[in-house]
Amino acid sequence: MSENKRYRQTIVGFNRPWTLVATERGVSELIYPPEVAAQAGFEEDYSQLPEASGLFEQFGIVERLERYFAGEPVSFEGIPLDVRGTPFQTSVWTGLNQISYGKTLTYKQFADALGKSSAVRAVGTAIGRNPLPVVLPCHRVVGSNGTLTGFRGGLQMKRDILALEGVTSMSAAGHDRFRF
């Protein structure tokens, strides 16, 4: 294995395949099921990456994601990550871990919690580029009126993920998804 080389592993969530991508340093991406990924604009052919199930098991991500998709409260804390983004983006992405399982924050509340009150739109843009949905829980950030908005996997996927966590009172509003 090579440190910069990327590897893949398929897992099942919501009875559909998701693709995990990692380097030897850590998990770098979680790609939606193929039909959702295509709608969200993911065009890379991840099937060409070599499989490395042992690497993902070593990171502890497969077992946690399987438990998560089975409806168990799971923390992804301690999973080695190798996400690529600007310093601002990575600060937003890692900040998503501050939002507890089964809880939501508005974009403004989240920006305030990060100390980036004047950058709500920039925070929202960074959230929209999150390469590890579920693991870095961008689905827990909602519109200012407490409704679902802005999820690349589509609002139904966001609703389904939140429902797994017991959040079932959200209604849809705004944009179905953002493409970046």
**Whole-number pLDDT of residue 102:** 93
CB 131 within 8 A of CB 83: yes
Q: 36, 61, 96, 138: which is the annotated catalytic residue?
A: 138
CB 123 within 8 A of CB 107: yes
Using a pLDDT cut of 90, give the percent of the chain over it: 70
Mean pLDDT of 146-161: 86
For the chain, the residue count is: 180
**Which residue in the block uniquely carries the two structure tokens 């897992």?**
11
* Residue 165, φ and ψ in degrees, nearest 5: -90, 5
Q: What is the pLDDT of residues 137-149, one digit of tens each?
A: 999 999 888 788 8
Write the DSSP symbol of residue 51: B
**Whole-number pLDDT of residue 2:** 56
**Range in 30-39, 72-81, 97-106, 127-136 the model is least confident about:** 30-39
Q: What is the pLDDT of residues 9-21, one digit of tens each?
A: 999 999 999 999 9
C-alpha to C-alpha distance for 128 and 139, rounded to whole angstroms: 10
**Confidence band of 64 (pLDDT split at 50, 70, 90):** very high
Q: Residue 177 above 70 pLDDT?
A: no
Q: Residue 156 above 80 pLDDT?
A: yes
138 is catalytic: yes
Q: Which CATH architecture has domain 87-164?
A: Orthogonal Bundle (1.10)
Handedness of CA 169, 30, 85, 129 (dihedral sign): negative
**Whole-number pLDDT of residue 179:** 37
Angle at which helices 120-128 and 87-95 pack, to 10 degrees? 80
Structure tokens of 151? Answer: 């999820």
Q: Quote the Cα angle for 130-132-137, to 5°.
A: 80
Short-list 126, 104, 111, CA closest to 170: 104
Contacts of 146 (CB under 8 A, 6+ apart): 104, 106, 170
Domain ranges of the chain: 7-69, 87-164
Mean pLDDT of 34-63: 84
Q: Quote the Cα angle for 44-124-128, to 5°.
A: 15
**Whole-number pLDDT of residue 86:** 96
pTM, full prediction: 0.88
Mean pLDDT of 96-108: 94
